Amino acid sequence: METQHHLLRYQERINNYLDYILPSTHTEPYVLHQAMRYSVLNGGKRLRSALIYATGEALHADPRVLDKCSAAIELIHAFSLVHDDLPAIDNDALRRGKPSCHVAFGEATAVLTGDALLALAFELLASISKKQLMPETNLKMIQILSHYIGSLGMAGGEALDVAVMDRSINLSKLALIYKLKTSYLIAASILLGALSANCTEKEVLDNLEKFGLYLGLAFQIHDDILDIESKTEILGKPQGSDEAKHKPTYPSLLGLTKAKQKAKNVFEKAVGFLKKSHIKDEELLAISYFVLQREY
């Protein structure tokens, strides 16, 4: 109940803000702007922005800074999904219950949509005013985010993911792939929330980062489980596609029961680090529970 309440509040807020900052479809290039809006304003759960708002509010951040950080993360996340769905990568035709960007607009536009979303994300972050945030903290945000989505983060995780398709790997390799491709963006969201409040205390940031990394792993293992147990209509993407593509997952390596136990253990570890950060955690915890409660 609490989880639902907080998530809905943050979803409404970020959806309105994203609608406001995305270029109009009446501005050239029309089709590119249609594709950008189509790929962002199409009903994502907005978990990452909810984590930013909840972390930032716990530390009394300026709401205008939180809006910009949340939008930047959602734009990057949408970019990663558009490119992930491309024929050259996962070749998925359905995303958030609708035709994927390349199916709706063609591959060239989908590639450019990703490029433009990434550029817009960093333009937004760099536009935070020095009255709202110390410039060195703003720069740190940009450094953290660009590092966590580059070759040592999300893009690197995706490269490894593509390389192991159809191959057998062990659990530690899979854990590395999940950390890079999923956990780093979730950890970056939480760190951006804290930095929005000018929080620079190393111990707090270290514990929050670990909270994010473990939460991200729990999220991705639960995603593997949903791919087996949920339905295409609920997921908004094809159920069973991991198995169909012979993708290594936690359930494929451990079995379903052990994978579920692993997700719970990892989630508890995440909560342990959140507690160690000593920040006000009511809303963050409510949002975190959604990671394992969600059905899509």
CA distance 79 to 115: 7
Q: Which two tokens stand for residue 26?
A: 């009446």
Which residue of 181, 222, 247, 260 would you call a contact of ligand GRG, by CB under 6 A?
Answer: 181
Burial class (CB in 10 A: 0-12, 13-18, 19+), 90: buried
CA distance 224 to 142: 30
How near is the Cβ of 190 to ligand GRG at its closest, in Å? 14
CA distance 212 to 269: 10
Residue 155 in the binding site for ligand GRG (CB under 6 A) = yes
Residue 44 in the binding site for ligand GRG (CB under 6 A) = yes
Residue 113 in the binding site for ligand GRG (CB under 6 A) = no
Cβ-proximal residues to 122 (8 Å cutoff; 6+ apart), any chain: 72, 142, 145, 146
Q: Which two tokens stand for residue 71?
A: 């939008």
Contact 78, 39 (CB under 8 A): yes
Residue 224 in the binding site for ligand GRG (CB under 6 A) = no
Residue 158 in the binding site for ligand GRG (CB under 6 A) = yes
Which residue of 55, 182, 183, 288 would you call a contact of ligand GRG, by CB under 6 A?
Answer: 182
Q: Which two tokens stand for residue 47?
A: 């978990």
How near is the Cβ of 81 to ligand GRG at its closest, in Å? 6
How near is the Cβ of 130 to ligand GRG at its closest, in Å? 27
CA distance 55 to 239: 32
- For residue 278, give the amino acid letter: H
Residue 226 in the binding site for ligand GRG (CB under 6 A) = no
How near is the Cβ of 63 to ligand GRG at its closest, in Å? 22
Q: Whose Cβ is closer to ligand GRG: residue 47's or residue 124's? A: 47
Of the candidate spans 50-58, 80-88, 199-207, 272-280, the one that interacts with ligand GRG by CB under 6 A turns out to be 80-88
Contact 46, 15 (CB under 8 A): yes
Instruction: List the interface residues with ligand GRG, window 88-107 (CB under 6 A).
Output: 96
Of the candidate spans 64-72, 153-161, 192-200, 245-253, the one that interacts with ligand GRG by CB under 6 A turns out to be 153-161
Which residue of 80, 100, 113, 249 would you call a contact of ligand GRG, by CB under 6 A?
Answer: 80
In the bound complex, which residue of the shown chain has the CB atom lying closest to ligand GRG? 44
Question: Which ranges in the chain belong to alpha helices (H)?
Answer: 2-21, 30-40, 47-58, 63-84, 101-105, 107-126, 135-149, 154-164, 171-178, 184-196, 202-229, 232-235, 241-244, 250-254, 256-277, 282-293
Q: Whose Cβ is closer to ligand GRG: residue 6's or residue 77's? A: 77
Residues near ligand GRG (CB under 6 A), total: 19
Of the candidate spans 73-81, 137-145, 251-259, 266-274, the one that interacts with ligand GRG by CB under 6 A turns out to be 73-81
> Which residue ranges make up the site for ligand GRG (CB under 6 A)?
44-45, 47, 76-77, 79-81, 83-84, 96, 149, 154-155, 158, 181-182, 220, 223
